[in-house]
Copies of this chain bind each other. A is one copy, B any other.
Amino acid sequence: MARRPQTIPRSAADRAAAEPVARTGNPVDLSPLPDRVGYVLRRAQLAVFKDFNRTCAEYDIRPAQYSVLTVIENNPGLKQIEISTALGIKRTNLVALLDLLEQRGLARREPVPSDRRSYALFLTSKGKAFMDRVHSSVARHEDNVNGALGDKGREQLLHLLNRILDKIGPAPGEDEV
């Protein structure tokens, strides 16, 4: 793994071996990647998340955390399994996420008398106030994205992405959790 150890002076013979190729600028041929949906999708998603993080930096909240808080906000009393299913997060990965939100005092787990295995999730009053403030930052973020797309483009994009979600589901047989 130590490919470049402390000091290994390369020989003059080495230096004379291969020709320079001299790739100066960056006219790198990315083909066929820019025509691959997956590649462009990934880069666009990263750009959008980066804008989200930038716009909401003052609140130190990640997109995944925001989505969880939003679902709790609109569906108070949900169980963890319901949130994880709805958001496509494995229930095993939701645990740490909720731990964090609970530690920050934004959400709380509450025992469910009717099912002592599960917890009902709620925003704390602090969490509600927090979301009230975050929503406006997220709106600004959305404006950035919509500004790039236009209303029509945004609708088209959502429609196309939903087609992907509908048709590129889990493998035939390999279902869910």
Interface residues, chain A, with chain B CB atoms under 8 Å away? 1, 3, 10, 14-18, 20-23, 26, 28-52, 54, 63, 67, 70-71, 74-75, 77-79, 82-83, 85-88, 99, 109-114, 116, 120, 138, 141-142, 144-149, 153-154, 156-158, 160-171
Give A25 Cβ to nearest chain B Cβ, in Å: 9
B164:A23 contact, CB within 8 angstroms: no
A142 contact set on B, CB distance < 8 A: 36-37
- A111 partner, pick from B14, B49, B154, B161, beta carbons under 8 A: B14
6 further A-B contacts with Cβ under 8 Å, apart from A37-B48, A37-B142, A45-B45, are A15-B116, A21-B120, A35-B158, A38-B141, A144-B168, A156-B156
